[in-house]
Amino acid sequence: MPRPANKNPKRRPYKRGGGRKRGSNIPSGLPADVEEHGEDLAALEEADGEQINIGDLQKKDIAELNTLAKEMEVENFGTMRKHEVIFQILRKHAEDKGVLIAEGVLEILPEGFGFLRSPYY
């Protein structure tokens, strides 16, 4: 069914497919995911430490996290919130030369700082 003519001359005509253009705010010079993937897998295979997945920790309940924190000798974990226990487990794991695995959306600010946005929050 055809759309009626625009009766208001100041108003823009209806146009499909509006919105921002894809990739319009992506900084130039960033490598594509495909280029980095092979190097990341090789680095994981060469890593000596045990691997821990941040997403797996986020899915656990606080009792499981407290058990893991006790095994890793995290101090004062009983008084911490869930996200604090996860952070201390990750910190302790990194100190022991472990490998941290995370997934999410990497947001890079114009200043060059980056934030990994978790898919679970």
Handedness of CA 25, 30, 31, 33 (dihedral sign): negative
Render pLDDT for 16-46 as a digit per residue (tens, 0 to 9). 555 555 555 656 666 665 555 566 666 666 6
Report whether 51 contacts 101 (CB < 8 A).
yes
Report whether 72 contacts 93 (CB < 8 A).
yes
Render pLDDT for 91-104 as a digit per residue (tens, 0 to 9). 999 888 778 888 88
How many residues are listed for the chain in this entry?
121
Handedness of CA 44, 45, 46, 52 (dihedral sign): positive
For strand 51-53 and strand 114-117, is the pairing parallel, antiparallel, or unpaired? Answer: unpaired
SS3 99: strand
Task: Quote the tokens at residue 83.
Answer: 């996200």
Q: How far apart are the first and last CA of the chain?
A: 43
Mean pLDDT over residues 48-52, rounded? 77
Q: Side chain identity at 99, as an amino acid letter? A: V
In percent, the amount of the chain with pLDDT more than 70 equals: 58
Render pLDDT for 55-78 as a digit per residue (tens, 0 to 9). 889 899 999 999 999 999 999 998
pTM of the model: 0.56
Q: Residue 55 has what pLDDT?
A: 86
User: Domain boundaries in the chain?
Assistant: 50-117
Task: Quote the tokens at residue 120.
Answer: 């679970």
